[in-house]
Amino acid sequence: MEPLETKTEATAIPRIGDNAPAFKAVTTQGDINFPSDYSGEWVILFSHPADFTPVCTSEFITFAHLEDKFKKANCNLVGLSIDGLHSHIAWLRTIKEKIEYKGMKDVEVKFPLIEDISMEVAKKYGMVQPGESKTQAVRAVFFIDPKGIVRALIYYPLSLGRNFDEIYRALIAMQTADEFNVATPADWNPGDDVIISPAGTCGVAEERMTSTEGLDCKDWFFCTKKLSKDTVLNALLKK
């Protein structure tokens, strides 16, 4: 007899370019209708494994500390875990009243934290990875643009806290690509040179290699141009 196969529940993950799966939810800031409540703005929807856990606590303190920075970039934060509303409220009160992390203390989490005991939202976004845990969400991060489209996603295991510099860098890079019709190279930060899309015809390729109008072309397919930090931030950040 052949051995019986172990069945693992499929985990559907929204893809880049998909409409963000819609849902209604109860949160620590009232009911939300997602993503329609955030039309015209970017949203970072992120999950964490559980309330009253140390890695998650460090992350929530950091996200709350950076919320105004994300707001200036026209981006809202929305958190989720497979915990109840009262647990969320008690945990966030504990964070404000008792926890200090890297000099950050008395931190009030003002962005919504979704109650998802049924796992309905977590399953829509593939946040439950059975190989990691069947009852906790992994550390998923979804970047959703003002049209409600998934633009990027990052997944971390339960044991690994997120890099918040990278989350913010990715947001600004995507906004820069949209605003200036460019791409951003490896390790790009505002002020670094940006990438111009490869030439689509032989004529354009020739023009780029001979042009002196602000392009730096190493070859016909690899051209960069300068885009100052002030130009980027003045275009993207709210005053």
Q: Name the strands in the sheet holding 194-196, side by side, starting at the edge strand that comes first in the sequence.
A: 194-196, 222-225, 215-219
Condensed to tens digits (0 to 9), the pLDDT of residues 4-38 reads 444 445 468 999 999 999 999 999 999 999 999 99
Helix and strand element counts for the chain (H, E): 6, 10
Superfamily of the domain at 181-236: Antioxidant, Horf6; Chain A, domain2 (3.30.1020.10)
Check residue 9 and give its pLDDT.
52
DSSP string, 195-223: EEPPPSSHHHHHHHHH--SSEEEEETTEE
Check residue 135 and give its pLDDT.
82
**Paired residues of 23 in beta bridges:** 34
Condensed to tens digits (0 to 9), the pLDDT of residues 91-126 reads 999 999 999 999 999 999 999 999 999 999 999 999
Query: Which residues are the active-site residues?
Result: 56
Condensed to tens digits (0 to 9), the pLDDT of residues 120-154 reads 999 999 999 888 888 889 999 999 999 999 999 99
Is 151 part of any known ligand binding site? no
- Two domains, one topology: 23-162 and 181-236: no
Check residue 205 and give its pLDDT.
64
Superfamily of the domain at 23-162: Glutaredoxin (3.40.30.10)
Please tell me the distance from the alpha carbon of residue 190 to that of residue 151, in angstroms, as a whole number: 19
49 by Cβ neighbours in 10 Å (0-12 / 13-18 / 19+) ranks as buried
CA–centroid distance for 122 within its chain: 15
Q: Residue 144 carries which DSSP code?
A: E
- Which two tokens mark 165? 């510099």
Q: Which of 73, 25, 54, 43 is nearest to 141 (CA)?
A: 43
Going from N- to C-terminal start, the domains of the chain cover 23-162, 181-236
Q: Which of 183, 173, 111, 103 is nearest to 145 (CA)?
A: 173
